[in-house]
Structure 1
Amino acid sequence: MNKNTIRILRPDFQYESLKSIPVEDLVKNGIKGLLLDLDNTISPWNDRTLSSEVVNWFQKIKAQGIKACIVSNNRHPDRVAAVADILGIQYVYQAAKPRKKGFGKGLKHLGLGVGQVAVVGDQLLTDVLGGKRMGMKTILLMPIDEREFGGTKVLRFLERLCGRKTYYTRKFARQGMVARRYHDK
């Protein structure tokens, strides 16, 4: 793999979960909007329930004036809409990430430019790759749950081949040893 390929798969920031993203860091980095994945980022795969920590985190970002939109590859609009309604945010379903079109729709919902928005998700090959292709900052999280769509399991295997395991593993996340910022030097 060449350096450009590796760079496009490196998130700008990484955290264990949404609730561990300091809202003040978003503000400090000029982030005014977030395009967030749904499955295993906001809620467990195929689940409409939200933890109180996630709901509280969304209240914190709204209080700081940060806009949010769900951009999901999930093909069930009723599920995506149900979660978006609970959070009071817009959504894009069947986004076909890492393609640009779904991210573009999310940007329109937010009314912001690429330099003001970060993509948040749990997958390198959909969320991080798509966000980088659009020129946005990216934030990689650990998946909420091990249950996931069959196609995602294939992508997880490919992520390990791309080196995700070397810089972000469950073991290190559980031990609190996850770096918050990458330095491409």
Structure 2
Amino acid sequence: MFSKFQPTWQVESIYDLPPEELRKKGIKVVLTDLDNTLIAWNNPDGTPQLREWLQKMEEAKIPVVVVSNNSFKRVERAVRSLGLPFVSRAMKPFARGLKIAVKRYGLEKHETVLVGDQLMTDVASANNFGIRCILVKPLVKSDAWNTKINRFLENIVKKRLLKENKLSTTWRHDLND
């Protein structure tokens, strides 16, 4: 039961994912959560570090697609200045948003990875859909009110995964197995 919450990799930040390393793992497309993964939930403008990472991904021709549970209006406003395609109302932990992204952008599941900061939504969604996933440390410690409920449940799951050695207390800076 808890295995659906086990990430493929655990990396401190999405910015720790250079295109060369993704290519070595056969990844050609990055699907990413929005809040606390790509941008801080309370700072929709992003950071210079984000823009630098997105530039590297664009130069390497690795598309980045946002897959978020947020409304169309919220996601569109957040990614407008970044010029990123997106799927809103993804309904994670279900695979709905991932299915839409793969179909809409003509992707192959085995060439795709989902990056997110939550076990209960992002990791579970990727595992339910059968793609690899990267758990990242949330960009900020605070969460929107609705995410706080998930974090409470997530802590229970984390303890179990840690006990079973399926999750690490150390955040990596690469995808090396």
Instruction: Name the TM-score, length of structure 2 as normaliser.
Output: 0.87
Mean CA deviation greater in 60-69 or 156-165: 156-165
User: Match of 1:162, SS?
Assistant: helix
Task: Quote the residue 2:74 is aligned against.
Answer: 79
Q: Would you say 1:162 and 2:153 are equivalent positions? A: no
Q: Report the counterpart of residue 46 of structure 2 in structure 1.
A: 50
Tell me the equivalent position of 1:131.
Answer: 126
SS of aligned partner of 1:111: coil
Deviant stretches of 4+, over 4 Å = 179-183
Amino acid of the structure 1 residue aligned with 2:24: K
Segments of structure 1 that go 5 or more residues without pairing to the other structure are: none
Q: Give me the whole-angstrom Cα distance separating, in 2, the residues matched to 1:65 and 1:131.
A: 22
Q: Does 1:121 align with 2:116?
A: yes
Task: Report the Cα offset of residue 15 of structure 1.
Answer: 1.1
1:24-76 residue CA offsets vs partner (Å, 9 max, x unmatched): 1101011111111001011111432110111111111111111111111112x
Name 1:153's counterpart in structure 2: 148
What is the aligned partner in structure 2 of residue 34 from structure 1? Answer: 30
1:92 corresponding residue in structure 2: 87
Measure, in 2, the Cα distance between the counterparts of 1:47 and 1:168.
28
**Structure 2 residue aligned with 1:106:** 101
When the two structures are superposed, what TM-score results if normalisation uses the length of structure 1? 0.84
In the alignment, what sits opposite 1:22? 18
Question: Quick one: higher RCO (CA 8 Å, sep 6+), 1 or 2?
Answer: 2
Contact 1:68–1:110 at 8 Å: present in 2 too?
no
1:4-23 Cα offsets, whole Å, 9 max, x none, are: x2332111111111111232
Give the direction of change, closer, same or farther, for the CA distance of 1:89–1:109 in structure 2 (3 Å limit).
Answer: farther
Calculate percent identity across the aligned residue pairs. Answer: 34
| Cα distance in structure 1, aligned partners of 2:97 and 2:80 | 19
Count of aligned residue pairs for this structure pair:
172
TM superposition shift of 1:163: 2.2
Moved more, 107-116 or 26-35: 107-116
Once superposed, what is the RMSD of the aligned Cα atoms? Answer: 2.0
Structure 1 range deviating more: 48-57 or 85-94: 85-94
Q: CA offset at residue 119 of structure 1?
A: 0.4
Q: Equivalents in 2 of 1:70, 1:125: separation in Å? A: 18
Gaps of 5+ in 2: none
What is the alpha-carbon distance in structure 1 between the residues aligned to residue 132 and residue 60 of structure 2? Answer: 18
Contact 2:12 2:173 in 1 (8 A): no
Is contact 2:11–2:175 with CA below 8 Å preserved after alignment? no
Q: Give the CA deviation at 1:147.
A: 2.0
